[in-house]
Amino acid sequence: MPSSNFVDYVKICCRSGKGGAGSKHFHRDRTTAKGGPDGGDGGRGGHVIIKGNKQIWTLLSLKYRKHVIAPPGESGSANLCSGKSGKDEIIEVPLGTVAKDAETGNVLFEITKDREEQILLSGGRGGLGNNHFKSSTNQTPRYAQPGEPGKEEWKVLELKVLADVGLVGFPNAGKSTLLSVVSAAKPEIANYPFTTLVPNLGIVDYRNHQSFIMADIPGIIAGAHEGKGLGHRFLRHIERNSVLLFMIPSDSNNIIDEYDVLVNELRLYNPELLDKEKMLAITKCDLIDEELKEEIQKELPDKIQTVFISSVAQTGLIKLKDEIWKMINYELD
């Protein structure tokens, strides 16, 4: 997917429909000159609804659509006929979309299932017709309720990528190269930092025609939890991954320091991220020999499982997929 087509944040103005007015009609026909009230109720105004669609991967359709307006309900009429409700305005979004109030920043709901629907802004209720107000002391009420006005509010939609595995690392750690080798995804790859500016998803084939989804998250830098390097936009995509694969190149100046910085950035952004299953991959191992690999192994942290891989030479990838599969299924159990 071209980076220009990936949109993970939109702010839209939503307006729900006004409720239809109740009718203040009295029954009249050839045999009835002065019948009782028979005014029908007004129809409900249209809702603005968010609906999940597993076939969509981006909020691109809303990028240039700043106003979402639902139509009003129709007024009630004679013979107790209720007005037609306004048509709901349905916005289809990718799974993993979070809806927030633009003013308060409060999370309203999250869409995580296909065809799941949530009301973003409810339409106004229709007014009651005069038939509801008749009584023994007032048999000819000449009034009915007006419909409730619709609402107009600004909402924010944020996409958090849903994937089984999220690749976490500094820029140029080899994340995009790994994704391009183990899946059919074609992320942009170059020998300079910040080549990846948006998440890329790939389906990784596994044994017996099984598969899992891997997400290439743009590189994290120190201070990302404070928003440096668009840190907040990148870090929120990690929240939706079941397993975190930390990736550090073998030619790094200090592998332990890099790992500690990555872990610290996740902790400062959201401590719950560290409760996820984690694995460490030492990349670009085609650049080192077995002796140097053994030296690196001695310095690695004990509390996290480590694999040595080379995406270019395609070594260690089968073991990597085996271990990831075990972690994913452990999470599902």
Task: Locate the domains of the chain by residue range.
Answer: 1-159, 163-332
Check if the beta carbon of residue 244 is closer than 8 Å to that of residue 273. yes
Q: Strand 211-216 to strand 163-168: parallel, antiparallel, or no bridges (unpaired)?
A: parallel
The rounded percent of the chain whose pLDDT value lies above 90 is 58
> What does the pLDDT read at residue 32?
87
Residues in CB range of 220: below 8 A, 6 or more apart:
168, 169, 170, 229, 231, 234, 235, 262, 265
Confidence of residue 193 (pLDDT cuts 50, 70, 90): very low
CATH code of the domain occupying 1-159 = 2.70.210.12
> What does the pLDDT read at residue 34?
86
> What does the pLDDT read at residue 16?
98
Average pLDDT of span 76-100: 95
Backbone angles phi and psi of 164, in degrees to 5: -75, -40
DSSP 305-316: EEEE-BTTTTBS
More confident residue, 75 or 169: 75
Which residue shows structure tokens 């809702």? Answer: 47
Nearest residue to 73 via CA among 147, 132, 151: 147
What pTM, to 2 d.p., does this model score?
0.73
In this structure, the number of other CB atoms found within 10 A of the CB of residue 311 comes to 25
Confidence of residue 227 (pLDDT cuts 50, 70, 90): low
Q: Is the pLDDT of residue 231 over 50?
A: no
Average pLDDT of span 214-221: 78
Identify the architecture of domain 163-332 in CATH. 3-Layer(aba) Sandwich (3.40)
> What does the pLDDT read at residue 76?
97
Check if the beta carbon of residue 109 is closer than 8 Å to that of residue 131. no
Q: Is the pLDDT of residue 225 over 70?
A: no
User: What are the tens digits of pLDDT across the range 18-71?
Assistant: 999 999 999 998 888 888 999 999 999 999 999 999 988 889 889 889 899 999
Find the range with the poorest average confidence among 50-59, 132-141, 195-204, 317-326: 195-204
Using CA atoms, how far apart are residues 174 and 190, in angstroms rounded to an integer?
A: 10
Nearest residue to 245 via CA among 277, 221, 206: 277
Q: Strand 152-159 to strand 9-15: parallel, antiparallel, or no bridges (unpaired)?
A: antiparallel
> What does the pLDDT read at residue 226?
55
What would the two tokens of residue 44 be?
A: 């409900």
* Distances 204 to 12, 163, 180, 312 between C-alpha atoms, Å: 35, 11, 10, 17
User: What are the tens digits of pLDDT across the range 285-303?
Assistant: 998 888 898 889 888 887 8
Backbone angles phi and psi of 113, in degrees to 5: -125, 150
> What does the pLDDT read at residue 6?
72
Q: Is the pLDDT of residue 188 over 60?
A: no
Using CA atoms, how far apart are residues 204 and 200, in angstroms rounded to an integer?
A: 13
> What does the pLDDT read at residue 253?
87
